[in-house]
Structure 1
Amino acid sequence: MNKRMTLAVLILIVAAGAMAFIRLAPTDPSLWHLALDPRPLDIATPSPDKVTGLPNGAYADLIAAPDQSQALLAKLDGIALATPRTIRIAGSAETGRITWQTRSAFWGFPDYTTAESTPEGVTLYARQRFGAGDWGVNAARLTAWISAFNA
C-alpha cells in the first residue's frame, strides 16, 4: 500500500470513529433537563416570540397568560416531536418542563432544547452538545417552531 492510500484509509477510520462517537454517545437527561433561567444577562425582559441567537444555542420567550402556559407547552411538544430526528428525553407539559433532543441529519450531532412554563408563558433554551458554535442551527429551529406555533 502506498503512503497516499494509507493516509486515506487512516482518515476514513478517524472520521468513522468520530461519527460513531457522536451518534452513540449516551444522553443523560439529568445533565440537560434542568430547572433553568437561561435568559442572557443582556435581555432584561422577555420579548414575545423573539429568538435570540447565542454563541452555542438560542433563547426565546413565548408570552401567554399564566393559565395558558401548560397548554402552550403541550402544543409546543407536538410541534417539536413533528420535527425530524427529534425525541423527548424528559418531562411533560403536566410537569411544566420538557427537554427534546434533535440530531443533525448526516453526523447526528445532538442539540438539546428545554421549554419551561413561567408566569409569563414559556421559556425556550436550545443548545448544542458538541463543538464551539452551532452556526445558527438552534436559532433556526426555534424560529421554525414559533412560526409553526403561530400558524
Structure 2
Amino acid sequence: MIKLAVLAALGVVVAVMGYIRLAPHDPARWHEDPTLVARPGTPNYHLIRLVGGDAIAPVYDTTPEALAQTLDGIARADGAELLAGSVESGHMTYVTRTPIMGYPDYTSVKVGPVGEGASFSAFARARFGRSDLGVNRARLERWRAALDAIF
C-alpha cells in the first residue's frame, strides 16, 4: 500500500514536471508591450521602462535598429528563445527557462528612439508560481550590463 502511494506521488511529480517543460506557449498571451503593461499583483516580475518601472530604462547613443539587434544577440546568448515579434519591429518576446526545473519565464522587450539615441523597455515575468526568486530581475540586469559594456 505504501509502495503504491509512493509510486502515485512520483507519478504526479513527473506529470507536473512534464507539463511545466512541455506546456505550449501562447504568443497572444505573453507578447506584451512593456511600455503599456500594468504591474502584476505578484512579485514574480521585473519591469524596466522610462517611467513607472522597477528600474529606469537607459538611453544609449545608438539607433533603435542597432539596439534591437544587439539586445537580441545578448538575449539569445543568455539562452532565450524568440517566441513572438521580431528584431525588425523592435518588439520581441523571449522564453527562458530556469536551470533545474525548467520553469518558463517570458521577457517582452520594446526598443524605440529617445531623442538622438535609443532605449528599451522590458517586462520579465514568471509563468508559474508567485515568486521567481529574483531570476527575472537578475536576467534583465545581465542584459542591461551587457548593453552598457557595448554602448
Checking the alignment, whether the CA contact within 8 Å between 2:91 and 2:108 is kept in structure 1 is yes
CA distance in 1, matches of 2:58, 2:12: 42
Report SS of the residue matched to 2:69. helix
Q: Deviations over 1:64-108 (max 9, x none)?
A: 35x622211210100000113x20011122112011000112221
Unaligned ranges ≥5, structure 2: 49-56
Find 1:57's aligned residue among 45, 70, 73: 45
Once superposed, which parts of structure 1, at least 4 consecutive aligned residues long, lie more than 4 Å away?
Answer: 38-41
CA distance in 1, matches of 2:121, 2:24: 26
TM-score normalized by the length of structure 1: 0.80
Q: Percent of aligned pairs with the same residue? A: 38
Unaligned ranges ≥5, structure 1: 42-53
RMSD: 2.0
Taking structure 1 as reference, are residues 39 and 24 closer, same or farther at Cα in structure 2, changes over 3 Å only? closer
Q: Deviations over 1:22-54 (max 9, x none)?
A: 11110011111133425777xxxxxxxxxxxx7
Find 2:146's aligned residue among 134, 145, 148: 148
Find 2:76's aligned residue among 66, 78, 81: 81
TM-score normalized by the length of structure 2: 0.80
How many equivalent residue pairs?
135
